[in-house]
Structure 1
Amino acid sequence: MKRISLYLIGLLLLPSLLFTSCDRGDDIVDSESTPAFTLLKNHMTANGLDIDNIDTNADGEKFVVGAPAAADLDAFLAKYTIIDIRSNTDFMANHIQGAKNVAFADILTEAAASTKPVLVVCYTGQTACYATALMRLYGYSHTRALKWGMSGWNPATAGPWNNNIGNAADGHSNWSFSNAPTTEVFSDPVISSFSTDGAQILKDRVEQVVADGFKTVSGADVLATPSNYFINNYFSEADYLGFGHIDGAYRILPLTLADNTYLGLDPSSNAKVVSYCYTGQTSAVLTACLRVLGYDAYSLTFGMNGMFNSNQAFTSNQWGGDSNPKNLPLVN
């Protein structure tokens, strides 16, 4: 009788044990397995998908390409499948000849249908760069973003950049010219996956980050309370000091998996990792990569141009200085 009772108890407990084991969703599949982050990292470094390879692919193509000279327009249009991820209203008002209006959520599907390299177009180049990084991570290594977005194509579509340059950092109490703080060493991020295949983990992570949309924070918010963020300035040391920087900003550059410099970033759930650059375009690429890797990462919109456009240290990538819209044709 006792054996029968124990048998019945075991049967009753079995579903509970099964559901418990299937609902873990933590960084490892079982106590013996390799952490999902490690599987992901190993796959990316072994297959040319480290952060620096997303920035510049194996053929030396940067993630951005500038609008062409008028004489080169036909060749430029013929080279790419152009997807415009702006709103349908703005797309219908004016767009590049041959471009297709595509929702951000559908970028991976659209890339799979293309027989040519994809050029992603948005308002300022920032969301397009975020999309480009995710598409490169997904296997579409020749994807590029239109630098400066439609703002750089024609004066009629330049409003998004013209209206968002600013100088809030000039004289701000949280703008500093001090040396960068000493880089710390943190642990790896924790990501959830039941897969033991690095390629599958990457695929799932990219799809999730696409579904979540572009994650950004404004320069004004970070300037107001820099202590609320883990800030990484993506400038050279000379520019970090010459331009000045947000108080407390680190300068972790290069930032790659292979050399473990990524360990300088705080992976904890209460650390909002903010990257910023000159235009918000490189920081968008970094942010896409970091979110795939499990960081709570954000791109500072409009970069230095949004915070301190008049800064005398600018020699390139200054909107309204060396960078202005071209006068290329639009269709509607």
Structure 2
Amino acid sequence: MKKLSFLILGLLIIPTFFLTSCDRGDDPSDGVVATPKFTLMKDYVVDNNLDIDNILTNSLNEKFVAGPPATSADVDAFLSSYYIMDIRSSADFTATGHVAGANNVAFANILTEAPKAGTKPILVVCYTGQTACYATALLRLYGYPRTQALKWGMSGWNSNNATSWNNAITGNIANGHSNWSFTAAPAKVVYKDPTITSLSSDGLAILKSRVEEVVAAGFTPATVKGSDVLANPSGYFINNYFSETDYLGFGHIAGANRILPLNLGDDTYLGLDNNAKVVVYCYTGQTSAVVAACLRVFGYDAYSLTFGMNGLYNNNPAWTSNKWSSSVPKNYPVVYN
């Protein structure tokens, strides 16, 4: 009888053992702590050359922006080398014209459209280059490293499309503002990793799911106006993406950090406050759009300051490059169909 009792007890215990042991790592009560989802994704990103510096410039040394071509004679060759996604509204795609061969694609559909490119590199086109750069970063992270954005967007292609940029530079709101500073950058602080959730324990799957979430949210929620940040710099963790020379020479928003390089692999990303609204700003809003896209995928509440330094202080005397002016737009042909 005792043998039978032990046998029954054993049959009851064995299934319990298997049920609990197959969940090891997800329940800290068993003494095993699961690897954080962020760490799994981070390891995949670093091991597969998808860190922020690799998104800004890929392994073929192709930057995230391309063009516009130097002369009108180069236009056809430039356009024919890409599969072109124009992510502007369908109304503007038709009414204000588009580059030859462009496909009008909603931002939400960029990941499903990308396979249609086949072996061709992808060129993303928008109004000013900022949304396209955001999309470019997400496509590169998703497995399309040869994606580029048309620099300055349609604003730089044809002067009839330059309204957005022309309007952005008229205020020079930072000039003489009490929150515009020429002091040295704040001392760097080390923060914790962001926290992300996922049902997967596979770094690639986590990364792709994160990219899909950021694409679904759209670009607008990842942007902030320079006037808002300038009025209340303490409400944000601000990271200026300039060289040290330009950080001091141009001046900067009061309290702006200068964390460069900003990568997962070298832990410089730990200089960002994972519990704050992280605002990145650059010269044009295009680089900051790439960085903000990456940071959002990596779990930060990140924002790109629209139009960058150009929108803050276009008449700043320190300019040497990346300045918007009437000389930037070309008058290259557009198609109205």
Note whether the superposition's TM-score is higher than 0.5.
yes
Shift of 1:29: 4.1
Equivalent residue for 1:13?
none
Of 134, 139, 143, which residue of structure 2 is paired with 1:135?
Answer: 139
The answer as to 2:164 corresponding to 1:160 is: yes
2:258 maps to: 251
Which position in structure 2 is the counterpart of 1:211? 216
**1:66 to partner: Cα distance:** 1.8
State the partner residue of 2:310: 305
Distance 2:163 2:199 in 1: 46
Match of 2:227 among 211, 220, 225: 220
The change in CA–CA distance for 1:263 and 1:78 in structure 2 (over 3 A counts) is: same
Letter in 2 for 1:156: N
For residues 278-310 of structure 1, the C-alpha deviation after alignment (integer angstroms, 9 at most, x for no partner) is 000000000000000000000000000000000
Contact kept, 8 Å, 1:29 with 1:194, in 2: the verdict is: no
Q: Distance in 1 between matches of 2:140 and 2:175?
A: 36
3-state SS of paired residue (2:237): strand
Q: Which residue of 2 aligns with 1:12?
A: none
Deviation, 1:30, is 3.9
Is 1:191 the counterpart of 2:192? The answer is: no
Segments of structure 1 that go 5 or more residues without pairing to the other structure are 1-21, 23-27
Partner deviation per Cα, 1:126-172 (whole Å, 9 max, x = no partner): 00000000000000000000000000001111111111113000000
- Structure 2 gap ranges (5+): 1-22
* Paired residues, number: 306
- Which residue of the other structure, out of 242, 252, 261, is the alignment partner of 2:249? 242
Deviation per CA, 1:49-86, whole angstroms, max 9, x where unpaired?
00000000000000001211211111111100111011
Q: Report runs of 4+ in structure 1 exceeding 6 Å deviation.
A: none
Q: Which has the larger radius of gyration?
A: 2
1:100 and 2:107 are equivalent in the alignment? no
- CA contact under 8 A between 1:231 and 1:249: conserved in structure 2? yes
CA contact (8 A) 1:29 1:196 kept: no
Q: Is the 8 A contact 1:278 1:304 kept in 2?
A: yes
Instruction: Provide the rounded CA distance (Å) in 1 between the counterparts of 2:67 and 2:166.
Output: 17
Distance of 1:277 and 1:204 partners within structure 2: 28
CA distance in 2, matches of 1:133, 1:149: 15
Question: Secondary structure of the equivalent of 2:164?
Answer: helix
The answer (yes or no) to whether the contact 1:223–1:246 under 8 Å persists in 2 is: yes
Q: Which residue of 2 aligns with 1:71?
A: 73
Which residue is equivalent to 1:44? Answer: 45
Separation in 1, partners of 2:272, 2:27: 27
C-alpha contact (below 8 Å) 1:29/1:193 kept by paired residues: no
Letter matched to residue 329 of structure 1: P
Aligned with residue 292 of structure 1, among 289, 293, 297: 297
Task: Rate the CA distance shift 1:326–1:29 in 2: closer, same or farther, 3 A.
Answer: farther
Q: Percent identity?
A: 68
Which amino acid is 1:256 matched to? Answer: N
Residue aligning to 1:14: none
Aligned-CA RMSD value: 1.6
Q: What residue is the counterpart of 2:185 in the other structure? A: 180
Give the aligned residue type for 1:95: H
Among 117, 127, 130, which residue is 1:126 paired with? 130
Aligned partners of 2:331 and 2:128: how far apart in 1?
Answer: 16
Q: Normalising by the residue count of structure 1, what TM-score does the alignment of the two structures yield?
A: 0.90
